[in-house]
Structure 1
């Protein structure tokens, strides 16, 4: 019985030695007090030692495949250490494809190992405890940070430097690690997985999804010719899902050609469905063919849409997936 730990790059791996030199997974775990007292061995592997901003979908899905093999060979859970910049996106990507009951826990650090108050060791210890805990089974991908547990579907990086950066504005933490015990307070409901069966790297790379954040007096010039090079678009609209009235027909024309998903740029709360009816409102945009993203933020909506397109999903399948995962 073991925990499979995959060490990527990020702040948690900054060595402070030669420029660009990274700590290995073995070096990261060796600096964690109490890890040897868990009663569960760690099988540590080093993969993709790069900042999280340089990770690709194909690389993350490769880690998931390796983790699946580890679970099939007897691992009770999985821990991934990586940079925090894209952790909320990688966690959601994992959650969309992870079929196993075994916990898949992602963590990292906001302070480098050589800094005072480095948070990496505590986060790794918490993540390992969660990965080994029967209480965390069947919950999909989780983020363990600052002794809090967040569901991948809700978690967001909310501060550029704080060690308490990860939060779930729409739901709050689903659990905590208290005196070494994993306590799940509000188990997140599991949604169906999105598995691009037979999808190779070329299909994933070819499923290009743009993200457009709507701004004051937005004339939509950035959207010109977008459907020629992208297979889908996520729109981060104002408030409950609004855009300038002049932009509505532009988005409608795009929705005739590619899937266009409507989300909110606010960071929490849903896109409404039928409260406002003016041109550029959520009702108007849906009538023009935009897909309602529900409670998913723009970044997670882009992850879901790209996976769907890589799997060959049509507009109806895209709408159904967002109705489920955005609810």
Structure 2
């Protein structure tokens, strides 16, 4: 049995350029010298430059690797900026018994305190550990294992960059020992073949003091088929945002409501223009699922079920664990 390593770039594969900025420069095989693993360079890019097409290409390559009975797990090296989104999309399409471990670095490869080598070694241990079977996609960095469904980048520079607000890590790596505390629950996902190119436009709209909803009108004009709202508190809009969202819902645009708070669920509590009125208009509340992941979930649901109501029904099982 073996572990495959798929590399995509990111800080773990970056070095300072002559003018001082940091750029991806280290090719896949150079990241794991002397390791008895299969290494495939899928791309060499900063994660802030990745597209949906890139992530879907990565997903197809991972599924191809997992079809090999000799492969017990896959490690993906990835930039940390969008790692949580890639991990979540992978988690939505991975087979039930699969294990994919994403890792990266907060320091470039030549930094005196480079964290990439340790993170990669930890990820390889997790991917090869029988207790990690069926965990789906996880992020391993800073000695912690985070489920893709809860992980978020919580610090721009700290070595322990990821957290799972309200949940905590599902495991730890201590030296050579992998401690899986509680495998994450995984509802039935989507088949990658259902998703096509994820072409449905879904936009994220923030809510803030006195927001008038002009961004929502612009998204509607741009052809959005779905909207994810980063609402106030438990999921409350402003009057202007509520008016625009009610128009969207009447026109058949699917709306998911998240909270801009770092912890706690979006849930319809308040009337008089609050989240309860959004729910009555047909918006669906996403609990503690954050906006970037809610966007991917809605995109996947709209790809699988083009009718908005059916798409919302398709994604509801994925929201239960966040309520």
Shorter-chain TM range is over 0.9
Structure 2 unaligned blocks of 5 or more: none
Asked whether 1:65 is paired with 2:65, we answer no
When normalised by structure 1's length, the TM-score is 0.91
Asked whether 1:233 is paired with 2:227, we answer yes
Distance 1:293 1:313 in 2: 19
Give the CA deviation at 1:227: 2.3
Matches within 5 A, 1:194-209: 194-197=190-193, 199-201=195-197, 204=198, 206-209=199-202
1:256 to 244, 250, 253: 250
Q: Deviations over 1:138-158 (max 9, x none)?
A: 111000000100000000001
- Cα distance change of structure 1 residues 254 and 169 upon mapping to structure 2, 3 Å threshold: same
Asked whether 1:102 is paired with 2:95, we answer no
Would the aligned equivalents of 1:292 and 1:319 in 2 still touch at CA under 8 Å?
Answer: no
Q: Secondary structure at the match of 2:121?
A: helix
Aligned to 1:188: 184
- Cα distance change of structure 1 residues 21 and 286 upon mapping to structure 2, 3 Å threshold: closer
Structure 1 runs (4+) greater than 4 angstroms displaced: 17-21
Richer in strand (by share): 2
Q: Deviations over 1:169-201 (max 9, x none)?
A: 121000001231111112111111122535443
- Cα distance change of structure 1 residues 305 and 21 upon mapping to structure 2, 3 Å threshold: closer
Aligned to 1:154: 150
Aligned to 1:324: 317
Distance 1:305 1:142 in 2: 21
Matches within 5 A, 1:1-327: 1-16=1-16, 20=23, 22-30=25-33, 36=35, 41-73=36-68, 74-197=70-193, 199-201=195-197, 204=198, 206-228=199-221, 229-257=223-251, 258-273=253-268, 275-279=269-273, 281-327=274-320
Give the CA deviation at 1:24: 1.1
- Cα distance change of structure 1 residues 126 and 226 upon mapping to structure 2, 3 Å threshold: same
Q: Secondary structure at the match of 2:145?
A: strand
Give the CA deviation at 1:322: 3.9
Distance 1:224 1:67 in 2: 38
When normalised by structure 2's length, the TM-score is 0.92
Q: Secondary structure at the match of 1:48?
A: strand
Distance 1:18 1:159 in 2: 27
